[in-house]
Chain A
Amino acid sequence: MAHEEFEQNVALYAVGALEPLERQALETHLTEGCQLCQTALKEYRETTGLLPHGLPITALPPNLKGTIETAALAQVLGQTTGADADATLRTPDSDVTIRTPGPPIVVPAGDVTVRLPNQPPGDVTIRLPNQPAGAPDADATVRMPSRPAARTAPPAKAVPTQSPWWAWAATPAFAAASISLVLGVGAYAFFLNSKVTLETAQRQQAEAALQQQTIQTAALRQELTQAQQELTESKQRLSTMASLQDTVAQREMDLERLRTQLAQKEQELVGLYKTASPKDEMLAMLQSASVRVFSLAGTDAAKSAGGLVLYDAERGKAFLYAFNMPALPRGKVYQLWTITTKPVSAGTFSADTGRKCRHLAHSLPAKSGITKFAVSIEPEGGKPQPTGAIYLHGSL
């Protein structure tokens, strides 16, 4: 295929519109190093990279970041399912003296196997620094299998590329998970044990951070639950308050009603007091020491009538009680008279049911020396002097 045809297809390749065969052909052309096509592809890719900016923005799920970061952290902690690989490193035929912070250790000649868990496919380079003076650093390359391999997989051979492998402080270039050593050399165990301790500490630190985050999440969740409960309680309180307000309004209405009733009753009481006073006055007068009793007898005009007068000279009051009084014609009233030298009106009154009469006379002249009481029948409104028939009269 001519270059021009490939160039035509680069734009379609960038948007993913090529058929599989065309795609493969173009990819081959690109890997063969066509600069023009590579540049064109780069530019088309920049263009397609901008296309999503023309999309409506879709809100991210709020927990997505946390999920992804947790998964990433889990990988740091070596919890993924990579392949284990054994790397066997050959020591020189002669023994090696290893420098340690303590006394030097002599390592006998032989093979050392390093187990590397959870390795992704690819090469791992182990740098062996601190060679004896004058010797360069040594690199040992271990090829990891491309598929997860069982621990029984044949160990990959690693051969020092530059100098004999006697480093005591090998530092694997990968910073992944823990390394365990399966070896018969105590000194390596010492070094690698330190390494494992360091890695374990780092892992523990990461785990502690994770745990801390988990605790914080739990605390936040608890706070949320608590806030929700408080909200529910507040809502309940609010509804209780609303019903209390109703009750208060109801009570206020009741109170108002009762006040009205009270005012009414007070008025009734005043009225009652006014109407009931003659009887009460009579009782009060009976208890008074200064009261005198006048007995009244019916005259010829009212033979069956009778009565009595309680006269309190000190207070100038008189209470009349009469019975069997003749019926009053329309337009007529009874009038009570006090007589000293001449009759003086003590008020008018009418008959109760059963032809009984009760009448209280206020404001009589005090200590006026009344000697007689009389009741006559008079026109409505009364008269200054008796004009009608006398029905009752009596003296001390």
Chain B
Amino acid sequence: MDLSPKPAASGLDPDLLARVARGDRGAFGQLYELSSTLLFSLAFRILGDRDSAADLLQDVYLEVWRKRVSYDAARGSPMAWLVTMTRSRAIDRLRSRTAKGHGVTDPIDNSPAVQLADGNPGPLEASAGSETRSLVGKALAELPEAQRKAIELAFYHGLSHSEIAARLNEPLGTVKTRIKLGMDKLRMVLRSCWGQ
């Protein structure tokens, strides 16, 4: 049994992605181990069911494996890249599902994005990643409710600022400002967590 601590999910080594790109199956397995819990939680949050989230994750990892998408270190950390890609694919699916007329659960009343780790932490939690989780949870909790809600509706529900304004019955400019202010604050507070 490997007792060495796993690095935090936010601290993926860019070299690992380079090895995956060279067709290293071991590296591919390692990438999965280090990132899947976070990506699955994200996909589940957006899509709302485990089967869809699992299906999405399979697509994301195979895209990475096939080099259909390639990681460019100049544009950010590997984890931010994976999160952006997973979020983007999930929102695409959510929109196509909505277009097909499937019901969408109310994003506001359902499972708030700001929720600290429950009493059942996985291996990811047991690692250094829990510190990041704690910091992110705290940063989100300290954000004004209206700013956080606007960010959540955009990030997890794929709503544009005008859609958010319509949903919350707020002026368009107000929503844009809230997102900008909220993002600026998070960017400042979470700076220490980047590129771990």
The 8 tightest CB contacts between A and B, nearest first, are: A49-B80, A17-B154, A11-B183, A53-B136, A52-B42, A58-B44, A49-B83, A46-B194
Q: Is the CB of B66 within 8 A of A57?
A: no
CB neighbours (8 Å) of B135 from chain A are 53
- Interface residues of B, Cβ cutoff 8 Å to A: 9-10, 23, 25, 28-29, 32-33, 36-42, 44-45, 50, 53-54, 57-58, 61-62, 65-68, 75-77, 79-84, 87-88, 91, 111, 113-115, 117-118, 120-122, 124-125, 129, 132-133, 135-137, 139-140, 150-151, 154-155, 158-162, 164, 176, 179-180, 183-184, 186-187, 190-191, 193-195
Q: Is the CB of B124 within 8 A of A65?
A: no
CB neighbours (8 Å) of A54 from chain B are 113-115, 133, 136-137, 139-140
Candidates B45, B80, B160, B180; contact of A11 at CB < 8 Å? B180
A244 contacts B by Cβ under 8 Å? no
Candidates B45, B50, B62, B176; contact of A68 at CB < 8 Å? B62
Candidates A17, A50, A57, A71; contact of B136 at CB < 8 Å? A50
> Could you give 20 example pairs across A and B, Cβ below 8 Å?
A8-B176, A12-B161, A15-B151, A16-B88, A17-B154, A51-B113, A52-B38, A52-B41, A54-B114, A54-B136, A54-B139, A55-B41, A56-B111, A57-B124, A59-B122, A60-B40, A61-B50, A65-B36, A69-B29, A76-B25
Q: Report the nearest A residue to B164, measured CB to CB.
A: A17
CB neighbours (8 Å) of B58 from chain A are 64, 67-68, 71
A72 contacts B by Cβ under 8 Å? yes
Q: A15-B155, A55-B113, A68-B61 are in contact. Are A75 and B84 (CB under 8 A)?
A: no
Q: Which of A37-45, A252-260, A348-356 contacts B (4 or more CB under 8 A)?
A: A37-45
- Range class of the A interface residue count: 35 or more
Per the bound structure, the CA–CA distance linking A354 and B152 in Å amounts to 116
Q: A45-B75, A47-B190, A50-B186 are in contact. List 11 more A-B contacts (CB 8 A).
A: A15-B179, A42-B75, A45-B76, A49-B77, A49-B83, A53-B132, A57-B37, A57-B121, A57-B122, A72-B65, A75-B65
